[in-house]
Structure 1
């Protein structure tokens, strides 16, 4: 009994002291407090709440993007990752350039003739991607209207799938694929087909892109 009373008195005393401290008009002098001598750096073990895939990603030096869903930015970043893993400064074994792996012939159509400048200019590469997609959208405008929503070889045709395939193979090859209902399925030098791009990049929002026959990209 005495022990319970003693515990009660201790708790009551603490409550009274806390009340007095909070109700006081005095300003706390923070200069009396210091973290000197305390060890403030703390590292969570790599085993805590992580799996091997997450650790490999975090320990690598490669940049990665948050999940962008089916937005237009998601579309172009997913396509760029497939083309070059998002590397602006790469040239593949066939001479295709940059983040989106442009051929020199396509770049000339877009008004770009200085390929070294293009390779070292991320802003120009982004402009080229937009211009090329808008040009392809104009060329394929009738096919987009005719085929979007239909199924070819079990794949639902979408505008983003068509534009991604046009980036891979050119708009002419995409026309052949659609109008042959999948019989004429172009494959690039690495074996990647129009049909693969149609499926992989289906359902993105590409309404941002406006059909433009004369789309160009410039560094100015």
Structure 2
């Protein structure tokens, strides 16, 4: 018996394509899931990140897809602010054979946090980390390269 491969819908390189591809990688697009480490929802947010965004009720968050989408965009705006100089400096360059793009940087920041992405970029890939499931910053930089995330504006300390 052959197993069916599950693939996300193809939405091209648009922002919607970016967020849906990232959501598929994180949770297979399931708003109502909690992983084995306690990360929540479609985009697998930790409680600490939710609190940074101004969300203090994890149950409400998990049961509110609209709130999850707002938190995702707000966190992207925050990461874009924190990484704005690195995005400008490294976009278009190659590190360890992959082209660095703004969308790859933002996806990697979603995975590992903006501070870890700065360390990766500034060490030219010598410093890399993996999440508990074995996914590295390098992998996200590569997998999420080339999406249009220009609709996300960098915001210092954004809140919901």
What is the TM-score of this pair, normalised by structure 1?
A: 0.70
For residue 142 of structure 1, give the secondary structure of its aligned residue in structure 2.
helix
* 1:205 aligned residue (124, 148, 151): 148
CA distance in 2, matches of 1:214, 1:172: 15
CA distance in 1, matches of 2:9, 2:20: 11
1:130-209 mapped onto 2 (5 Å cutoff):
130-209=73-152
In the alignment, which residue of structure 2 is the partner of 1:4?
A: none
CA distance in 2, matches of 1:67, 1:199: 17
Superposed CA offset, 1:59-100 (max 9, x none): xxx9x8642100000000000000000000000000000000
Q: Is the 8 A contact 2:8 2:24 kept in 1?
A: no
Unmatched runs of 5 consecutive residues or more in structure 2: none
Count of aligned residue pairs for this structure pair: 159
Superposed CA offset, 1:149-195 (max 9, x none): 00000010000000000000000000000000000011111111000
Larger relative CO (CA 8 A, sep 6+): 1 or 2? 2
Unmatched runs of 5 consecutive residues or more in structure 1: 1-51
In the alignment, which residue of structure 1 is the partner of 2:15?
A: 72
Asked if 1:111 corresponds to 2:54, the answer is yes
What is the TM-score of this pair, normalised by structure 2?
A: 0.95
Cα RMSD, aligned residues only: 1.6
